[in-house]
Amino acid sequence: MLTAEQIFAAHKANVETLFGLTNKAFEGVEKLVELNLQVAKTALGEVADTTQAALSVKDAQELLALQAALLQPSAEKAASYSRHLYDIAAATNAEVVKVAEAQLADAQAKFAAVVETASKNAPAGTENAVALVKSAVAAANNAFENVQKAAKQASEVAEANFNAVTNTAVKASQTASRSSKRAA
């Protein structure tokens, strides 16, 4: 039976967890805002430089060379921005998952303690029912662990695919840039 103190302690822990998760979410948003401000600041400087370079072009060949020179860094910067964005999201998600896993482990431990206490105090003749409950709890825990492992593997595959796509895009822009330079 839960006491008032246990209920109060559980509510207090839940509120602390909520505020901890909220702080982690705000940290992720702060990093995202920082990234976007840096990108905007850098882009503004690059636009000024590009405008100056475009205004000093004397012929079509120089214009093609300027265009080729701008193509590759743009793709690389887009890939870098995507990478930073992914890293921020992944780090924030990892923090949330870590807290959720800790909460779940705590809940599982408390539930297991309740089941154990109930099994010790169970009336004679209910051993089969107690064994069935313990078996169900163990099966549920195993199923959850398998789902966690599958989710982690899926996340790793998604990250590998993201990296492959990013690298392919950068390589394609480098190839296009080289082709444009040769044509110029």
Eight-state DSSP code of residue 59: S
**Residues 14-55: pLDDT tens digits?**
888 888 889 999 999 999 999 999 999 998 998 899 889 888
Q: Which amino acid is at 149?
A: K
Tokens representing 16? 């602390």
Task: Tell me the pTM.
Answer: 0.63
Q: Please report how many Cα atoms fall inside a 13 Å half-sphere around the Cα of residue 62, on the Cβ side.
A: 8
Helix (H) or strand (E) holding 79: helix 60-120
CA pair distance 18, 103, nearest whole angstrom: 11
Length of the chain, in residues? 184
pLDDT band at 104 (very low <50, low <70, confident <90, very high): confident
The pLDDT mean for the chain works out to: 82
As given in the structure block, the two tokens for residue 151 are 């989710």
Tokens standing for residue 134: 């313990």
Q: How confident is the model at residue 177, as a pLDDT?
A: 58
